[in-house]
Amino acid sequence: MDRRVAAARIRGLVLDRRHRVLVDDQGCAPEATVEWSERPLLAFQDFARDRYGLRLPSPAGSMVPHDGRGPRDFCFFVDPGEALPSMRWVCIAQASSDEWLWRAYVAMVLGGWEPPTRTIDVFAFGAGPEMASRLAHLVTSGSKRVTTSWLTTLERRGEAIPHAGMVSIVTDAFGLPRCAIRTVAVQRFRFGDVPAEWAALEGEGDLTLENWREDHRCFFAGEAESMQLAFSDDEVVLVEKFQVLHVIGRVAER
């Protein structure tokens, strides 16, 4: 058969900033059939727009099909927005039973590095692009090995409660991964009772307990206001110590 007119499949790994994956009712990624003569990226973007009303940006990565035949598959980061016809968003842990989705995630998002478990949490530190980038930098540069969360807001938002052994992907504010960490220990404290040695391990500011309290009291007060709550020194916080498993940004050895 003439390769110029033969049909080929293209699949798209479409993620939001928390690495939820867009799948159909069968749990499969969007898939288009294109002709060899077409430009595969433009053909897939046209397919996503016409079929789902989804406008895809420039891809964040691409991957040769497993069998080495056909055009490249692509990865895109988008804001989730409204639900799409016959499509739904699932966390990467739920989608990991599909071998193509997991293999594509490892290759195109994590640079070839495979986490020790497929049950992973994905998050960005703080709030907003500047804070997320600054704190991720402190982690990857070796300064930050502790983070603190307000238990009430984690529960309200339905986010993962940190526990020893949990593996997380740390992203910037746009969803692009910076590193993988594993939780070593978690302790609960009244905010006003967090010890100075834990505060120093956060690696922020001048490393004093006073600076830590000022910055975190301001941050948690902002969270409280956005959720119509009140924050005080009596609130329970989770102080989480972690180790860095991998800094993402280079191709892992295969």
Q: At residue 182, what is the residue type?
A: R
The pLDDT, as a whole number, for residue 142 is 94
SS3 88: strand
Domains within the chain, CATH numbers bracketed: 9-108 (3.90.79.10), 120-247 (3.10.400.10)
pLDDT confidence tier of residue 229, bands split at 50, 70 and 90:
very high
pTM, to two decimals: 0.89
How would you classify the pairing of strands 87-91 and 31-35? Answer: unpaired
Q: What is the DSSP letter of 27?
A: S
pLDDT digits (tens, 9 = 90+) for 16-74: 999 999 998 888 899 998 876 678 899 999 999 998 888 999 999 999 876 666 678 99
High-pLDDT (> 90) share of the chain, %: 74
Residue 212: C-alpha distances to residues 154, 185, 219 (Å): 20, 20, 11
SS3 246: strand
Paired residues of 170 in beta bridges: 123, 179
As given in the structure block, the two tokens for residue 135 are 């704190």
pLDDT reading at 246 higher than 90:
yes
Residue 43: C-alpha distances to residues 22, 46, 51, 188 (Å): 19, 5, 12, 52
User: Which backbone phi and psi does 246 adopt, to 5 degrees?
Assistant: -160, 135
